[in-house]
Amino acid sequence: MKKKAMWKDFYMEIRKSPGRFLSILFIVALGVAFFSGIRASEPDMRITGDAYFDSENLMDIKALSTYGVTEDDVAAFSQIEGVEAAEGGYSADFLHNTEDDQRVLHVMGEQKEMNRITVSEGRMPETVGECLVDDASDYQIGDEIILTSGTEDPVSDTLATDTLTVVGRGNTSAYVSFGRGSAAIGTGSIYAFAVVPEDTFVLDTFTEVYLKVEGAQALTSFTDAYDDKIAEVQTLVEDSTEERGVIRKNEIVQEAEDEIADAEQELEDGRKKAEKKLKKAKDKIKDGKQQLKDAKKEIADGKEQIAQAKETLNAQQKKLDKSKKEYKDGKKALKKGWKKYKKGKKKFEKKKPEAEKQLQSGKEQLDELADQISEDEQTYQSLQLQIDTLEKAIKSGQGTAEMEKQLTQLKTAASGMNQKITAEKSAYSTAEKQLSAAEKELSDGENELASTEKTLTAQEKKLASAKEQLNSGQKQIDDAWDELEKQEQELIDGEEEIKKNEEKLADARKEYKEGKKDAKQEIADGEKEIEDARQELADLEDPKWYVYDRTTLIEHSSFGENAERLGAIGRVFPVLFFLVAALISLTSMTRMVEEQRISIGTMKALGYGKLSIASKYLGYALLATLGGSVIGVLIGEKILPYIIIYAYSILYPNLPQILVPYDWGYGLMASGIAIFCTMFATFFSCWRELGSQPSVLMRPPAPKNGRRVLLERIRIVWNHMNFTWKSTIRNLMRYKKRFFMTIFGIGGCMALMLVGFGLKDSCYEIAELQYKEIQFYDASIYLDEDITDEERTRLHEILSEESNVERYMDVNMQSLTLVNEEGTEREVYECVFPSDKEEVARFVDFHDRKTGEKYTLSDNGVIINEKTAKLLDAKVGDTIYIKDEDEGNKPVRIEHICENYLGHYMYMTPEYYQSVYGEESDNNTILFIMGETSTDSSAASQGASPEDQLEAVGKNLLKEDGVLNVSYMSDMEQQLDDMLRSLNLVIVVLIISAGMLAFVVLYNLNTVNIAERKRELATLKVLGFYDKEVAEYVYRENILLTFIGAALGCILGKVLHLFIIETVEVDTVMFGRIIHGTSYLYSLVFTVLFSLIINGIMYFKLRRIDMVESLKSVE
């Protein structure tokens, strides 16, 4: 009967106070959900990643060798204890030049078992020339990719083809995030991977070997168990590499010895061949000398003959020239004769008609004269006859005077006629002579012309004949000269030939000597090479093996580090959250027991035992706590890990699914702690109350005595306060337990929200601080250790001429280990900067994080960053050591400690470097800063972004000899931003959870406050206070407690934030240490807002307080 009554009372208690029951249940659920959910996020993230890696059969260990990996190596590794499988693989980096840019592709051979590829589109490559490309790239199926090596070696040395056709797209667990790693060609950053059939590679050995560890797949990646398992087998593999190195070395030695033997035989053959060749060359030179001697004699004889022939020809030429002169003179005379002939002929022919006419006229006149003479002779004869007749007559006397007179007249006439005849005959004779002379002259002229013409013609023929003779003679002489010239040319050619032959002979002698020398040198070189080869063989180092686990995969370790960060947050942040929730639930149960003391006294008076009475409250607490724990575990371990891992999936898009199995360990831990705290507090309260007599328990506890508060002693303040404020202050101080519980609860929630906002501030500011306020350079050029001065000068010229580069600086950067007095070690980058302080300040700013004091490098010590100093427990003025196992540790003095967030650095001057190492610093890196705006007017740079311009400069630099790689700060900044961006949703979850806790805490505390003061508040109503005034009476206390709690939360949050930041940091990163004012403001606003919302909700509770309560007797 008693038990039935107890159970009934138990259920009635729940029905009467559902708000308290539900608030305890909800706050426990919230605390357990947050605690177990955040704590489970770390293993869930590891499980999610591990499931993905197992599904792709991702390798556990990768091994590389400086001499390549042989089939025997793969077989040997597969026999190592703990190795489940071993598989050789191929990979190499190539360039692909597109229209817009130059890309680096990491080409991998398709693995049969490990590192499976997930095909998202298309199919896997099947034949040489086909490939599957990275899903994150912009290549599409059907695209053709033409590869170049980016080095002096052709693609054909590595691949069977330089042209690949895309047949599929996909992803691989080897690349868990966006990063694809770096390369020593192109821009230095790998754009994407491509998978080809294994037979596309034409290498003699594998480039790497992948190993699967037996039993590792059953373990979860990123856990100590997995790491220990891998480390154990990795050690065995590393031990095995020594044996494999010896075997490989012996193989190489044997191959080298065979090659040396072949080289020696080849050298001996070469020596014999050279001797034979030299002897042949010597005989040839001897023959050539004799031939030259004979040729010179022939040339000399030929010259003598030519000289004699020239003399003869010159004499003949003189004779011919004389004949020519005579010919020319004759020709000239002939020409003159012809000219004279033609002139005379012309003149003759011109006068001939006139002469002929005159001759004809003369003939006619002569005929007339002859006729006249004949006529005159007849007349004269007639006269003479008459005279004779008359004389006869006169003689005969017959004549008369008349006759005498007539005779006289006749005689006179006859005499005259005779004279006339004589004259006419004389004239006739003269005319005849003249005519004959004229005829003769004409005839002579014609004859002379004919004779002259004949003579001239004869002379012309003679001259023509002479000319022919002369021409013939000249031709003979010319031919002789031509022949001489030909012979002379032959002699010249012969001399030239002799000269050439002499040169050839000289060259042959020189070549013989050089050949002999070269042969000796080549033989010596060959012997030296053989000797060097033998020495090199003797000095041959063992092959270097590099054995890596999954942490060397691109961004694979960051996945584990992110899970580790979640674990760090889960180990710290939920604890305070859970403590606040547990404290509030504890307060609620304690208050419930105190409220039920009359009921407890009654039940005790009725004979119920202590355990029976306590079981009611313990059961109440257990049911509420257990119910809240179950709900918290079921919801928290599903929702919170999913949200957080989903947030990280932004960084890891290839994760196929998010796995959030229940981690009963964390659930039971949270539930156990919640149940223990609540049950212990309930049992303690019950046991304390049950220790009193029933009569004492059945009376309410005496009201606490009022005490003067400290503020009352400050009269100037107290006297100016009205009644309500005085009452508020006294109420706060009277209920000290409620006061401290409230401010602690509000302060805890405020601190949690402040930590959430502060985490965001600390994480998001480090990229800006690191690359905008500390390190100003845009890229680092890593140089080959064997770079020449000419190659370095060439790089300086390129950087100086590059319009986009503002300035550059040569530095020495190398990785080393620092160790302190206690033996703590830390890997750091040693940076030796020039002594030019102003120039160094343009690249790196050294300053104190707290004070902002600027530092400069000096020759008195080094500057190390804050994180390094903290890990080494070092301060300014301390001495730390550079680890050197060969020459002993080298001490360095810390002169300053500077602000830095990413990596570990130690900075020094070249002078201090020399004082530490005893040698000058050798610069192996060039840092450069891009200009703010480009002045390059080329088409390539017009409209290009700063990132494109930076990559263009990097591409040009990577083409130069002596450059190993170019690292861009923007890539590191982007990777950091991507990593921190994934924390945003996690931080939002923390802030929302803290806000929900604050809401529940305020609700619970206000509920307890009103329940405790129900009679007091009812009395105020009886005294005439309106509902609004009663509410204000309570609100003042709540608001004041809220602001006091918020102030405490600011202090607690700052301390907790610093603790959490230092806890979640990994060794290589230092998060920011400040919380922005806006974060304080947001946390305060949310806390006040929740307080006001709770006050609004409490208003309805206050209105429902019945004034009759104040009239009930306390007794």
pLDDT, residue 941, reads 45
Neighbours of 118 (CB within 10 A): 14
Residues facing residue 781 across a β-bridge: 926, 966
Residue 108's SS3 state is strand
Q: Count of residues for the chain? A: 1115
Quick one: average pLDDT of 408-415?
A: 73
Residue 209's SS3 state is strand
Residue closest to 804 by CA, chosen among 770, 778, 841, 781: 778
pLDDT, residue 723, reads 65
Confidence grade of residue 934 (pLDDT, cut at 50, 70, 90):
very low
Residues facing residue 155 across a β-bridge: none
Question: Is pLDDT above 50 for 802?
Answer: yes
Quick one: average pLDDT of 373-381?
A: 73
pLDDT, residue 656, reads 79
Question: Is pLDDT above 70 for 857?
Answer: yes
Among 193-207, 441-455, 810-824, top mean pLDDT goes to 193-207
d(CA 636, CA 638): 5
Confidence grade of residue 1110 (pLDDT, cut at 50, 70, 90):
low
Question: Is pLDDT above 90 for 751?
Answer: no
Question: Is pLDDT above 90 for 895?
Answer: yes
Residues facing residue 61 across a β-bridge: 211, 549
Question: Is pLDDT above 70 for 581?
Answer: no
d(CA 567, CA 39): 6
Among 181-190, 417-426, 503-512, 668-677, top mean pLDDT goes to 668-677
pLDDT, residue 559, reads 76
d(CA 1035, CA 978): 45
Choice between 925 and 513, residue whose per-residue pLDDT is larger: 925
Residue closest to 832 by CA, chosen among 847, 821, 816: 816
Residue closest to 747 by CA, chosen among 1096, 1041, 373: 1041
Share of the chain above pLDDT 70, in %: 87
Question: Is pLDDT above 90 for 616?
Answer: no
Ranking 125-129, 469-473, 677-681 by mean pLDDT, the lowest is 469-473
Residue closest to 628 by CA, chosen among 572, 677, 592, 575: 677
Residue closest to 731 by CA, chosen among 1044, 1031, 1024, 1036: 1036
Confidence grade of residue 926 (pLDDT, cut at 50, 70, 90):
very high
Neighbours of 258 (CB within 10 A): 10
d(CA 550, CA 53): 10
pLDDT, residue 109, reads 92
Question: Is pLDDT above 50 for 1047?
Answer: yes
Structure tokens of 517?
């020398």
DSSP 396-461: TT---HHHHHHHHHHHHHHHHHHHHHHHHHHHHHHHHHHHHHHHHHHHHHHHHHHHHHHHHHHHHH
d(CA 57, CA 453): 128
Quick one: average pLDDT of 816-821?
A: 87
pLDDT, residue 697, reads 63
Q: Where are the alpha helices (DSSP H) in 842-884?
A: 866-871
Report yes or no: 211 and 82 within 8 Å, Cβ to Cβ: no
Strands 905-908 and 825-832 come out as parallel
Quick one: average pLDDT of 165-171?
A: 92
Residues facing residue 93 across a β-bridge: 106
Average pLDDT for the chain: 79
Question: Is pLDDT above 70 for 577?
Answer: no
d(CA 994, CA 625): 20
Quick one: average pLDDT of 939-947?
A: 59
d(CA 1030, CA 369): 198
Question: Is pLDDT above 90 for 844?
Answer: yes
Among 377-381, 575-579, 607-611, 772-776, top mean pLDDT goes to 772-776
Share of the chain above pLDDT 90, in %: 10
pLDDT, residue 166, reads 93
Residue type present at position 794: R
Among 47-51, 430-434, 461-465, top mean pLDDT goes to 47-51
pLDDT, residue 700, reads 64
Strand boundaries in 437-583, DSSP class E: 545-549
Residues facing residue 47 across a β-bridge: none
Which residues, other chains included, contact 1045 with Cβ-Cβ below 8 Å and sequence gap of 6+? 742, 743, 744, 745, 746, 747, 749, 750, 1087
Among 57-61, 148-152, 270-274, 607-611, top mean pLDDT goes to 57-61
Quick one: average pLDDT of 549-577?
A: 73
Quick one: average pLDDT of 1080-1090?
A: 87
Question: Is pLDDT above 70 for 702?
Answer: no
Per-residue model confidence as pLDDT tens digits over 518-535: 777 777 777 777 777 777
Report yes or no: 584 and 1004 within 8 Å, Cβ to Cβ: yes
Ranking 82-91, 320-329, 459-468, 938-947 by mean pLDDT, the lowest is 938-947
Choice between 757 and 580, residue whose per-residue pLDDT is larger: 757
Strands 163-172 and 190-196 come out as unpaired
Which residues, other chains included, contact 1023 with Cβ-Cβ below 8 Å and sequence gap of 6+? none
Per-residue model confidence as pLDDT tens digits over 75-133: 888 888 888 899 999 999 998 888 766 788 999 999 888 988 989 899 999 999 999 99
159: left (phi over 0), alpha (psi -120 to 50) or beta: beta
